Amino acid sequence: MAEDYKPIGVFDSGYGGLTVLRSVIDELPEYDYLYLGDNARTPYGTRSFEVVYEYTLQAVKKLFDMGCHLVILACNTASAKALRSIQQRDLPNIDPSRRVLGVIRPSVERIPEVTRTGRVGVLGTTGTVKSESYPLEIRKISADKPVITYQEACPMWVPIVENNEIGTPGADYFVEKNVRQLVEKDAEIDTVILGCTHYPLLSETIRKFLPKHIQLLEQGPIVAERLADYLKRHPEMEQKCSEGGSRRFLTTESVENFETRAGMFFGAPLKAEHLHL
C-alpha cells in the first residue's frame, strides 16, 4: 500500500456508522476514508465493557496498521464503553501522535447551544442508556448552565432498521411508544438526541410522533461539523490525512451480506472487502 495513503478511519460494530461517514464525506469530501464494520460480532450493545473495549481496540489497531492516524468511533456503544480507555491507556503506548475520537462528546457539546429549558432527552440502545455516558458527559459540559437528562432505551429500533421495516405499522408502534415514554418524563424537554447511528433512518417516523417544539439532534451532521473544526484547529493532524477522495469499506462478515444492507445506511451502493480481526 502506498506510503502516502493515510485515510481517516471510521469504525462501527455494524452498519450504523455509515450514516456518520455519509455526513462526514458530504462535509469533507477531499479526504481518503477507510470504513470498518465488525458485522461478524455485532451487536456490541449487549456485550460487557471489557468485551467492547477488546473488540474496539482490535479494530483501532487494525486501522492504524492500514495507515490511519485519526480514527472515529462512529458507534455510540464503542464511544461509551471503549473510547476513554483507548485514549488514556493505549494510545500513549501505541503512538501518542495518533488520535481516536467518538460521537458522544460532539453531540453533547451542541446541547448548550440549542436547549432553552435545560431539559434534554436521549433515545438510545439499551447498552448506551445503561452506560450513562450521555448524562455523565452532559454534566461535564453544563456546569454553568445545568441540564437535566432523561433517557429512553429503544431495543426494537435497530432490528426494525436492519430488517428494513421502516415505515411499517410495527415500526410506528415501537417508535411512538418510546417517544411518548421519553417526552412524558418531563413536559419541558425541548431537545432530543438520537443516541444511535441507526436512528437517522427512522428520523421521519420519529418526527411524526415527537412534539413539534422539540428539536431533534442527529449525530452525523454534528460529528462532521466538529471534525472539520478539529482538523482546522489541529493542522499537525490534518497534514497526516491524505486527500485522495477515496472510500474503502471493510467488513468482518460476508461481503455479500454487507453490500446488500450497507447501501441503505450509506445512501448509495458500495463495494466492500472482507477483513479478519
Q: Which residues are catalytic?
A: 75, 196
Contact residues for 19 (Cβ-Cβ < 8 A; gap 6+): 197, 198, 200, 201, 219, 220, 265, 266
- Quick check: 122 and 185 in contact, CB under 8 A? no
Site of grid cell 501518542:
96
79: its cell numbers = 464511544
Helix axes 219-233, 17-27, angle to 10 degrees: 50
Contact residues for 16 (Cβ-Cβ < 8 A; gap 6+): 74, 75, 158, 196, 197, 198, 265
Classify residue 145 by burial, with Cβ atoms within 10 Å: 0-12, 13-18, 19+.
exposed
CA distances from 170 to 72, 131, 166, 200 (A): 33, 28, 9, 17
Opening angle at CA 228, ends 203 and 241, nearest 5: 120
**Alpha-carbon gap, residue 185 to 180, rounded angstroms:** 9
74: its cell numbers = 462512529
